[in-house]
Structure formats: C-alpha cells, structure tokens
Amino acid sequence: MSKPFQAIRGMNDILPSESALWQGLEATVREVLAAYDYHEIRLPIVERTELFARSIGEVTDIVEKEMYTFADRNDESLSLRPEGTAGCVRACIEHGLLHHQTQRLWYAGPMFRYEKPQKGRYRQFHQVGVEAYGMAGPDIDAELICLTARLWRRLGIREVTLQLNSLGSSAARAAYRERLVAYFETRRTELDEDSQRRLHTNPLRILDTRNPAMRGVVAEAPVLLDHLDTESQIHFAELRALLDSAGITYEINPRLVRGLDYYCKTVFEWVTDTLGAQGTICAGGRYDGLIEQLSGPAVPGIGFAMGLERLVAMLVAAGYSGADPNPHAYLIMVGDAAQRQGLVLAEQLREQLPLRLRMNCGGGGFKAQFRRADYSGARFALILGEDEIKAGTVAIKPLRETQGEQVTLSQDQVAAHLRMALNSTPSVLERDARG
Ligand code: HAM
C-alpha cells in the first residue's frame, strides 16, 4: 500500500478541536473592528506577481525568495498573496473607492510565503489585516494602535510590547540610506554575506539583522530617527502625544525598519517574549506613497496585519483550551418509526431553540446509542423508543450530574423543558449561541 498523503510542509490543518478557539478569536476581532467602524473587504488569494513586486519591493525577501509564483495558462505570472496590503490597494483603486472619501477596511484569510517553517512561522498562515485610506495625520495612526491595544485587552493578552519608529519621508530616507551605505562601507569586512548583498540594494534591512555577530556594527550605525525631515518629526511627536494621553505605553525602537518597502513615517510592531523567536504578533505602518505608485490617486494609507497562528498560540499559553463545545442533547431512536419521527422532532427543536443537537446516525440498539450519547459529552439524552412513539412522548435523561431527574414529556413540551433545564445551568444556551 502507498503511504497516505500528508499536508505540504508549513501548511497546517486546523482541526475541529482547535477551530472553536479560532472562531472565538475571529469573533472578538470582528467585534472590536466594528466598534471602530471598519468594514470587511474580501480579496482574491491570487494576484499578478508584478503587483507584489511593485508594492512590497523587488529586493525584499518576500519578493526575491518567498513567493509562490506560477505561470497562468496564458503565461501570465501570478502569485499566491504573501500579504494583503497590495491586493487591498489594488482593489480600492480598481473600484474607485479612494476618490474624495476615506476608507476604513479589514480583511482576513490565508497568506503564503515560502519561508523556512518553524514554530510560529508557516508557509500558509492567516492574517487579519486592517487598512485606512485618505487620512494623513497622526490621529488615524493613534486610532489603529488603540484598536490593537483594545483587542489585546479583550483577548486577555498581556505580555506584549508596542515598538514604535518613524521612517520619515521617502526623501529623508533616501538621504539617510546614503549615509548608512557610507557607514557600512567603512565596516564592510564585518558584514555577513547577506548584509554585503543588501548593502547597495536594501541597506536599511541590515539594521534588523538577526545575526548576533553583527550587533556591534549595527549598534554604531547612524540612527534614522536623528535624520528625519521636519514634517515626519512633527507627525511622530504628535502621535506620541496622542498615545501618551490614551495611556498606551510603547518603546521607541530606532532599528525597526520592517521587511516591506512601502512604509514611510510611522511603523510599529507588537512583540512578545512568550512565543520564542517568532514574537511579532502584529505589525504595520504608514504607506503614503504606495497608492499613487500603483497608479491610484495621491491618497495616504496606513495599516497593519496580525498573525492569527501566533495569537492562537498566545491564547493557548494563557490557558484557553479551545475545546470543542459538547452537544446540548443527543437524540436516541430505536426502531423505524422512531427514526422517522426523530428526524422531524430534531428539525423542530432546532427551529425552536439555539440548540446543539446531535442525532444518532448509523443505527444501533439502545445500549450502543446510549454509549454514544454519553461519549458525545451531551447534557441530555432524548429517547424515542417504541413506547414513546406509541404514547407520543419523549424521555429526557440527564447524562451529567446536577441536571435533575429523568422525565417523560409529550413531544411538544420538549423544547420548553430543555430551554429551562439548559438555562438553569448558568445560561448555557445563550452563552453557546453567542459562540
Ligand atoms: P508582516 O510584518 O509581513 O506585514 O506580517 C504581519 C504579521 O503576520 C506578522 O507580524 C506575523 O504576526 C504574521 N506573519 C507574517 N509571516 C508569517 C509566517 N510566515 N507565519 C506566521 N505568521 C506570519 C504585512 O504583511 C503587512 N501587509 C502589514 C500591513 C498592513 N502593513 C500595512 N498594512
């Protein structure tokens, strides 16, 4: 026999035992986004390769070596999206969403990067991304950061730090880039192979090298924050004042440059020590020139994306089990007539209550079905046997302790009984219905 198939390396299944936690996380994210009046945009997973090259940057790791790129049937080069900002900007330009109006948008879904898989770093991973267009001032920067801080509070995530930096205008960055290249030239022999390669293509990225041997060279490099243009300096100071008044603490990290080329002015990352090497749970910044660069109107943009796998890992570490909720009731049916009536009864009950009702399928005698009911973790077994069918009743047997005695009721009383019984064990139905 041939070996069973396995998932592609770095691409994970999310199993039923985990999906409840994902759904809870996604629901909370959606609630927080709604509280700030952000609206969902759904974007394709595949875009033209050139869109990513022109926005993320030709000489970034993502575009140079991490994209899943393929030729379409007409030989056009397409790529699986490695991130969502480029597609979001493309869609907004294409549909005229940026003319004379501001936009507050979010999207969610899988992204693809051919990275070396490790804990917290996958080849297919999931992001929720948020983008805001048409607002140039630091107020929107502050709003986005407040939104993320609120989300962490709502999720009970505490061990995260906000790192903040400003990359300045593109002119200031170009001048700084020259200064940086000149500096690194004087220390060329100390640069590792990767940094030597980047020296003339993307020298800013040398600053966020993970190579400990380069710590000294990087520490002594000129600091971009000291060379900001006046407008960016004012923007940054105002943002800091807004965050201070909102009670949001942050660290200024002058080495934070981000791995995508489109950023200017504000950049930020939320990082944690609790996840090992892949500790950035959320990252983003301003990209005022990108929309125009992609042939759209001259409209500023800012956004961020968070990695859901990393957030789920934090929730698990904080003790959320993510256990799949058990059914409220399990319907046992013995005999053909019971089978037919049971199907109808189950449909009626689902109509009447926000009930998670599992119907026995696959036959079996009373004992076998009862064992399945118990194993399912249900609170009640609803029993339809020959006697019940004759009498037009249902037996309701509590399967867990403290759920009272077994009762036999007429079929039209079952919903009311279950509603009372489930709500008396603190509001199980209402809580479960909310998810
Ligand atoms: P990014 O920093 O490349 O930014 O990714 C954002 C977040 O996605 C990271 O902080 C991390 O949590 C998660 N992430 C990235 N790569 C992986 C991976 N291989 N495995 C698991 N999680 C990962 C962007 O993507 C920008 N588009 C963010 C943005 C939106 N900036 C402005 N608007």
Q: What are the tens digits of pLDDT across the range 362-392?
A: 999 999 999 999 999 999 999 999 999 999 9
Q: Average pLDDT for residues 52-62, to the nearest whole number? A: 92
**CA-closest candidate to residue 144, choices 235, 225, 242, 56:** 242
- Probe target for ligand 1 pocket from 122, 125, 130, 160, with the most ligand atoms within 8 Å of CB: 125
Task: Enumerate helices (H) and strands (E) in the chain, giving the number of each.
Answer: 16, 16
How many folded domains does the chain comprise?
2
Domain boundary among 261, 286, 318: 318
Ligand 1 and 388: CB distance under 6 A = no
First to last CA, the chain: 42
* 338, two tokens: 């019971």
Residue 10 is assigned to a structural domain of this protein: no
What pTM value is reported for the model? 0.91
Q: How far is the CA of 274 from the centre of ligand 1 (A)?
A: 18
* 352, two tokens: 């009447």
Residue 199 is assigned to a structural domain of this protein: no
Is 314 in the same domain as 350? Answer: no
Domain boundary among 271, 289, 318: 318
**Residue 178 vs residues 174, 185, 204: alpha-carbon distances, Å:** 7, 11, 10
Is 264 in the same domain as 127? Answer: yes
Is 238 in the same domain as 382? Answer: no
**CA-closest candidate to residue 330, choices 290, 358, 288:** 358
- 79-108: pLDDT as tens digits: 999 999 999 999 999 999 999 889 999 999
Give the burial string for 147-184 (b: 16+ CB within 10 Å, else e). bbbebbeebebeebebbbbbbbbbebbeebbeebeeeb
Please provide the size of the chain in residues. 435
Residue 347 is assigned to a structural domain of this protein: yes
Is 379 in the same domain as 296? Answer: no
Is 45 in the same domain as 119? Answer: yes
* 113 assigned binding-site residue: yes
Q: How far is the CA of 107 from the centre of ligand 1 (A)?
A: 13
pLDDT for the residue 334: 97
| CATH number, domain containing residue 397 | 3.40.50.800
Cβ atoms 184, 206 nearer than 8 A: yes
Residue span of the structural domain in which 245 resides: 16-168+228-318
- 118-177: pLDDT as tens digits: 999 999 999 999 999 999 999 999 999 999 999 999 999 999 999 999 999 988 888 898
Q: How far is the CA of 267 from the centre of ligand 1 (A)?
A: 13
Q: How far is the CA of 305 from the centre of ligand 1 (A)?
A: 6
Ligand 1 atom at minimum distance from 129 CA: 30
Ligand 1 and 303: CB distance under 6 A = yes
Whole-angstrom distance, CA of residue 264 vs CA of residue 285: 7
pLDDT tier at 427, thresholds 50, 70, 90? very low
Is 87 in the same domain as 160? Answer: yes
* 131 assigned binding-site residue: yes
Ligand 1 and 84: CB distance under 6 A = yes
Across the chain, which distance is largest between two alpha carbons, in Å? 94
* Ligand 1 atom 14: residue of nearest CA: 307
Whole-angstrom distance, CA of residue 308 vs CA of residue 306: 6
Ligand 1 and 307: CB distance under 6 A = yes
* Ligand 1 atom 16: residue of nearest CA: 121
Cα angle, residue 152 at apex, residues 249 and 107 outer, rounded to 5°: 115
- Give the strand order in the sheet containing 280-286: 39-40, 103-112, 124-133, 301-307, 280-286, 264-271, 161-166, 251-252
